[in-house]
Amino acid sequence: MLFLLVRPASVLGFQQAGVIWEVPQTTAEVNAQINRFQELGIKYIELRHPVETELIEQLSAYDFQIYIRSSQQYLSLTDLDERRTQLADFYSDFIARYATFPKVTKIGIFSNSITSDNHLIQSVDVLLNDLAISFNTDTYYYQNNRWWDFEEPGRAFAIFFPDADNEYQPTDLSRLNHLFDSLTESGDASLVFMESSWLLSALENYPELAHSLAYLHQNGDWLLPLPQHQQRSPQTSWTVFFLLAMWIILAVHLWLVPSYRNFINRYFGAHAFWVEDILQFRERSSVSGFILVLQHALFGGMVFYLMVRTFMGPVGVDAFFYHYPLLGITGASYLTFFILGSAIIFLSQLIALAWIYFTTDILHHPSQVLNIYTGVFHLDFVIVTLMVVAFIGSLPWYLIFTCGILYALIWYLAFNVATFDVSQNMIQKRGSYLFYTIGLHFIISVAALMLILVYTDIAEVLKLALSV
């Protein structure tokens, strides 16, 4: 095996390693892992509440500093207001349970909550000060893979090494090396936490890591011999197969219905004549419109999925469905956003089609409504293709964001374009028709948006989900 020796040029701070310990079920495993951590020179162990008193006493016999993190997570100011009494009771019991142990040097108050403007931190601080209990143990909170001092919110004293579902991968070692090197160069947090399950798996697969951890403990310097880099076979995202399926359906449709090509060309190149043919019922097929309704909904699901994948991390997804568990159709996963997006777009299209059909006596057949409403959806193919390419190619985020906004505009304006086209042949009551369609559409949209923002906490939840 070939090795590459990597050593940071300079050490700006004494670095140490810690573990987030997933406590085993059996006493034998507990004892074995404690001894293993001691051998590796691990000095910091974080445990998740609740922790048995016997375990804390056992750990206190070793040279460990124990951190205990509470179960409170994804907090918002609304949560704090609504659950203030409940949270006060929780923190009273939580702090009283652990603050008396000398080896419990820090207590974690909450995880992954809205801390961007410090309002939540200040409010929780007031709540803790009002508790009928005094304690001297330092407090912290966990946010964005970092441990932050509760008394000094801008100071991160530890950082988490993120792994792939706690499973060791050969490429993890180079990422761990890069993390330690970057901390050395930046002078950032000097304590690096790893999940215990990942650490034990990594040690089993790469024993040299044990020597590096022991050297780190003794010298505060990171020195790890890396194995020769192994290329992982590239994996094709399911979004590519989805996109290919959409284009194949379009190609098959063009092949089976030769007039469909002329349909597309005339919609964009001779729109006024195309509208006249629809209103005069010269275009009778409803197959094209029905397929486009389904494709537009599926494209909408893909847009939702890609936007969430780009701007919301896995913790943010968990936070979102923590507050809205009923929306978790397939659990707290990115796929759920694809399903939700497709369902929302499809239902909105059904409402729009019914609205167009029942507000005028010019349209006599459902195929007229389908064709006049869905023609603009051909632009979805270009927009979503660009969006998928930007996502797969790791292009700048603003390209994905721009494509998402363009899709949203097409979705919203399709109704307005369709009703305006229908109104062109109206001699009387055209103004009232446009008011009861385009005008009312705008009023209802704005009113619905205002009601959602005022009477729900969706804005606060989204802010939370996008910030963690």
The percent of residues above 70 in pLDDT, for the chain, comes to: 93
Average pLDDT over residues 112-134: 85
Check whether 12 has a pLDDT greater than 70. Answer: no
- Give residue 135's region: left, alpha or beta (phi > 0; psi -120 to 50): beta
- Quote the pTM value: 0.85
pLDDT band (50, 70, 90) for residue 1: very low
User: What is the predicted pLDDT for the residue at 272?
Assistant: 87
User: What is the predicted pLDDT for the residue at 229?
Assistant: 57
User: What is the predicted pLDDT for the residue at 388?
Assistant: 96
Cα–Cα distance between 150 and 126 in angstroms, integer? Answer: 12
pLDDT digits (tens, 9 = 90+) for 179-195: 888 887 766 667 999 99
The percent of residues above 90 in pLDDT, for the chain, comes to: 54
User: What is the predicted pLDDT for the residue at 3?
Assistant: 34
User: What is the predicted pLDDT for the residue at 10?
Assistant: 34
pLDDT digits (tens, 9 = 90+) for 361-387: 888 888 889 989 999 999 999 999 999
User: What is the predicted pLDDT for the residue at 7?
Assistant: 36
pLDDT digits (tens, 9 = 90+) for 344-357: 999 999 999 999 99
Sign of CA dihedral 57, 62, 65, 68: negative
**DSSP-derived secondary structure for 216-270:** HHHHS---EEEEPP-PPPP---HHHHHHHHHHHHHHHHHHH-THHHHHHHHHHHS
User: What is the predicted pLDDT for the residue at 189?
Assistant: 63
Cα–Cα distance between 234 and 364 in angstroms, integer? Answer: 53
Average pLDDT over residues 430-453: 92
Average pLDDT over residues 160-165: 74
Domains of the chain: 12-226 (3.20.20.80), 238-467 (no CATH)
Check whether 4 has a pLDDT greater than 50. Answer: no
Average pLDDT over residues 76-87: 90
Average pLDDT over residues 318-323: 93
Cα–Cα distance between 283 and 182 in angstroms, integer? Answer: 64
pLDDT digits (tens, 9 = 90+) for 235-270: 568 999 999 999 999 999 889 888 888 888 888 988
Q: Give the CA distances from residue 54 to residues 23, 59, 87, 107, in Å, rounded to whole numbers and listed in that order.
A: 13, 9, 26, 18
Q: What is the residue whose two structure tokens read 């074995």?
A: 32
Cα–Cα distance between 253 and 284 in angstroms, integer? Answer: 16
Return the minimum-mean-pLDDT range out of 194-203, 212-221, 395-404. Answer: 212-221
pLDDT digits (tens, 9 = 90+) for 203-234: 998 889 999 898 888 887 788 887 765 555 55
Average pLDDT over residues 300-310: 96
Pick from 198, 194, 164: which is nearest to 179 by CA?
Answer: 194
Cα–Cα distance between 255 and 243 in angstroms, integer? Answer: 19
User: What is the predicted pLDDT for the residue at 236?
Assistant: 65
User: What is the predicted pLDDT for the residue at 40?
Assistant: 92
Check whether 2 has a pLDDT greater than 50. Answer: no
User: What is the predicted pLDDT for the residue at 164?
Assistant: 55
User: What is the predicted pLDDT for the residue at 87?
Assistant: 93
Pick from 214, 413, 167, 372: which is nearest to 282 by CA?
Answer: 372
Average pLDDT over residues 413-435: 88
User: What is the predicted pLDDT for the residue at 8?
Assistant: 37
283 near 371, Cβ under 8 Å?
Answer: yes
User: What is the predicted pLDDT for the residue at 187?
Assistant: 65
Please state, rounded to an integer, the average pLDDT across all residues of the chain.
Answer: 87
Residues 306/169/46/150 CA torsion (nearest 10 deg):
-40
Tell me whether strands 138-143 and 146-149 are parallel, antiparallel or unpaired.
Answer: antiparallel
355 near 270, Cβ under 8 Å?
Answer: no
Per-residue b/e over 78-108, b at no fewer than 16 CB within 10 Å?
ebbeeeeeebeeebeebbebbbebeebebbb
List, in sequence order, every residue forming a beta bridge with 20; answer none if it has no partner.
46, 195
